[in-house]
C-alpha cells in the first residue's frame, strides 16, 4: 500500500470491506459494481484480447469478490470456487503421489471423505491426527508432511489448534500449512497473520452469510501458491459463477456488522445455557474452562457464534428440546443470518459409527447451534422454553 506522509490515515478493514469494488463500473458510473454474466469477451483481433476472454478463466464480477475476500484475510490474492469442497479439492492438487497430508481426525466430514478417497486411489497419502495435542506437534516433524491441514475451531466441539505453532513447524520442514477458516471468518481469525500459507473458506457460510449461495474461496499469502491454485481452478473448471460471486461480494459488505451481532447473541446464549440445569455442558471458546480458551484468546479476534452443548437425558431430551423451537431451524450448515440447530449424532456426523462418535466426544445429547442475528431476547426465550420441555420430560410431567 502507498503511504502518504501528509494524507489521511488508511481506511480500516471494516471500511474497506463495506466499500470494496465501489466505482468499478467505468461504463455507466454505477455506485455498486454491476454483475457480468457473459461467458465470453471480445477479442480485438485474432489472438489479441483484453483482461478477460472466457469466464471459466476470468470474470470481472468474480475478481471483485476475490479482491474483497483476499483483503479481509490479509492475503496477496484469492481464487473463488464453486463450493467449499472445490476450494479444498484445488488445494489438494498441490500434493503428488507419495506426498503426505496431515489432517485433523475431526475435520469437516466432506474433507475427511475426499482425503480418504484420494488416498485410497493413490493420489497422495493421508494421516489423521489430533493437532490440538502438543506431543503430536513434535512427532509431526519426523513424518515429513507436504501439507498440514488445520481447522480451528473444530466441529462440533470447537477444539482449538495453535495456528502459529503448526505454521512455524511447516515452514521449518518445507510443508504448506492450510487453514480451513470457515467457522470463524476473517473477522474473528486471520490465519495468514499467524504464518499459514493458505486459507480455505466455504463462502456458503459466514462470508456470504445469507444461506443462499454455495461457494468457496482459497486465499494465499504468496503469489506463487496463488498461481498454482488458480491454474488448477481453471484447468478443473471449478471457478465460482458470476452470479454467486455477486451475491457473495454483497454479503461480505455486511460481514463485520453481522459478526458483531452474531457474537453478542452467542454470548447471551452461552450464558443462558450455562445457568440451566437441563444442560450438562456448554462448549464455546469464550468459556474459561474451555481447553482451548487461552490459544483462542491469543489467535482469534472474536469468539465466533457456533455454540455446542450437551443436554442431560440423551435422545429423548433432544427430541423434546428441538420439537417446538421457533427461532432455531433444524438444519445443517451455519453462518447465515438465521439461527440453526443441528444434532451432530444423526445429522452432520451421521456417517461416523457409534464408536467413532463416542471417541470424538459426540454424545446423543449433543446439539450444535449456529446463532444468528435475530433479537437475543427471542433466541434466549426460545431456548429456555425448549429446556423447560426437557425438564418436563425428565419429570414425566408430559
Active site residues: 56, 108, 180, 205
Nearest Cα neighbor of 149 from 118, 105, 113 is 105
Cβ nearer to ligand PLP, comparing 170 with 204: 204
| Residue 214 touching ligand PLP (CB under 6 A) | yes
SS3 46: coil
Rounded to whole angstroms, the Cα distance separating 157 from 58 reads 39
Q: CA distances (Å), 386 to each of 52, 142, 320, 391, in order?
A: 54, 50, 7, 9
Q: Provide the CA 141 distance to its chain's centre, in angstroms.
A: 27
Residue whose beta carbon is closest to ligand PLP: 84
Rounded to whole angstroms, the Cα distance separating 112 from 94 reads 17
Give kind and range of the element (H or E) at residue 117. helix 109-120
Of residues 170-189, which lie at the interface with ligand PLP (CB under 6 A)? Answer: 180, 182-183
Please pick, from the candidates 75, 216, 251, 313, the single residue that binds ligand PLP as defined by CB under 6 A: 216
Of residues 104-163, which lie at the interface with ligand PLP (CB under 6 A)? Answer: 108, 110, 151
Angle at the Cα of 199 (from 222 to 89), degrees rounded to 5? 100
| Number of shown-chain residues binding ligand PLP (CB under 6 A) | 14
> Least Å distance between CB 154 and ligand PLP?
9
Q: Is the dihedral of CA 117, 122, 128, 134 positive or negative?
A: negative
Looking only at the bridges linking them, the beta strands covering 176-180 and 329-330 are: unpaired
Cβ nearer to ligand PLP, comparing 136 with 214: 214
> Least Å distance between CB 111 and ligand PLP?
6
> Least Å distance between CB 151 and ligand PLP?
6
> Least Å distance between CB 238 and ligand PLP?
11
Please pick, from the candidates 161, 202, 286, 295, the single residue that binds ligand PLP as defined by CB under 6 A: 202
Please pick, from the candidates 55, 185, 189, 204, the single residue that binds ligand PLP as defined by CB under 6 A: 204
Among 52-60, 83-91, 132-140, 158-166, the segment contacting ligand PLP (CB under 6 A): 83-91
Please pick, from the candidates 64, 78, 79, 85, the single residue that binds ligand PLP as defined by CB under 6 A: 85
Rounded to whole angstroms, the Cα distance separating 209 from 207 reads 5
Cβ nearer to ligand PLP, comparing 108 with 303: 108
Q: Give the cell for residue 276.
A: 440451566
291 phi-psi bin (left φ>0, alpha ψ -120 to 50, beta other): alpha
Please pick, from the candidates 190, 194, 205, 284, the single residue that binds ligand PLP as defined by CB under 6 A: 205
Q: CA distances (Å), 316 to each of 278, 366, 387, in order?
A: 12, 12, 12
> Least Å distance between CB 150 and ligand PLP?
11
> Least Å distance between CB 155 and ligand PLP?
6
Q: Note the residues at the interface with ligand PLP (CB under 6 A).
A: 83-85, 108, 110, 151, 180, 182-183, 202, 204-205, 214, 216
Amino acid at each position: 500500500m502507498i503511504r502518504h506522509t501528509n494524507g489521511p490515515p488508511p481506511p480500516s478493514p471494516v471500511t474497506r470491506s463495506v466499500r470494496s469494488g465501489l466505482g468499478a463500473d467505468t461504463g455507466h458510473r454505477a455506485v455498486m459494481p454491476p454483475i457480468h454474466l457473459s461467458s465470453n469477451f471480445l477479442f480485438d483481433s485474432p489472438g489479441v484480447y483484453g483482461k478477460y476472454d472466457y469466464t471459466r478463466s476470468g470474470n470481472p464480477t468474480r475478481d471483485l469478490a476475490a479482491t474483497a475476500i483476499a483483503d479481509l484475510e490479509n492475503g496477496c490474492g484469492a481464487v473463488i470456487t464453486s463450493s467449499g469442497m472445490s476450494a479444498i479439492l484445488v488445494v489438494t492438487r498441490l500434493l503428488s503421489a507419495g506426498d503426505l497430508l496431515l489432517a485433523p481426525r475431526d475435520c469437516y466430514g466432506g474433507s475427511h471423505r475426499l482425503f480418504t478417497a484420494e488416498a485410497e486411489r493413490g493420489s497422495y497419502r493421508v494421516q489423521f491426527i489430533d493437532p490440538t495435542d502438543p506431543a503430536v506437534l513434535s512427532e509431526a516433524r519426523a513424518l515429513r508432511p507436504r501439507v498440514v491441514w488445520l481447522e480451528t475451531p473444530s466441529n462440533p466441539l470447537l477444539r482449538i489448534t495453535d495456528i502459529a505453532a503448526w505454521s512455524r513447524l511447516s515452514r521449518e520442514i518445507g510443508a504448506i500449512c492450510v487453514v480451513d477458516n470457515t467457522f470463524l471468518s476473517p473477522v474473528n481469525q486471520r490465519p495468514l497473520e499467524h504464518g499459514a500459507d493458505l486459507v480455505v473458506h466455504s463462502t456458503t457460510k459466514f462470508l456470504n452469510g445469507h444461506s443462499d449461495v454455495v461457494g468457496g474461496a482459497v486465499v494465499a499469502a504468496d503469489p506463487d501458491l496463488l498461481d498454482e491454485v488458480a491454474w488448477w481452478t481453471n484447468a478443473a473448471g471449478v471457478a465460482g459463477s458470476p452470479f454467486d460471486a455477486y451475491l457473495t461480494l454483497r454479503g461480505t459488505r455486511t460481514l463485520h456488522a453481522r459478526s458483531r451481532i452474531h457474537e453478542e447473541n452467542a454470548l447471551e446464549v452461552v450464558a443462558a445455557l450455562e445457568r440451566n440445569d437441563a444442560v450438562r455442558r456448554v462448549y464455546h471458546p469464550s468459556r474459561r474452562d474451555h481447553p482451548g480458551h487461552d490459544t483462542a484468546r491469543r489467535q482469534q479476534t472474536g469468539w465466533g457464534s457456533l455454540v455446542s452443548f450437551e443436554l442431560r437425558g440423551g435422545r429423548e431430551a433432544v427430541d423434546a428440546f428441538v420439537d417446538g423451537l421457533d427461532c432455531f431451524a433444524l438444519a445443517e450448515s451455519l453462518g447465515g443470518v438465521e439461527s440453526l440447530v443441528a444434532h451432530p449424532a444423526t445429522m452432520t456426523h451421521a456417517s461416523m459409527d457409534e464408536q467413532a462418535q463416542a471417541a470424538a466426544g459426540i454424545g446423543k445429547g449433543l446439539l450444535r447451534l449456529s446463532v444468528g442475528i435475530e433479537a437475543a431476547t427471542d433466541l434466549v426465550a426460545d431456548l429456555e422454553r425448549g429446556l423447560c420441555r426437557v425438564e418436563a420430560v425428565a419429570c414425566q410431567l408430559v
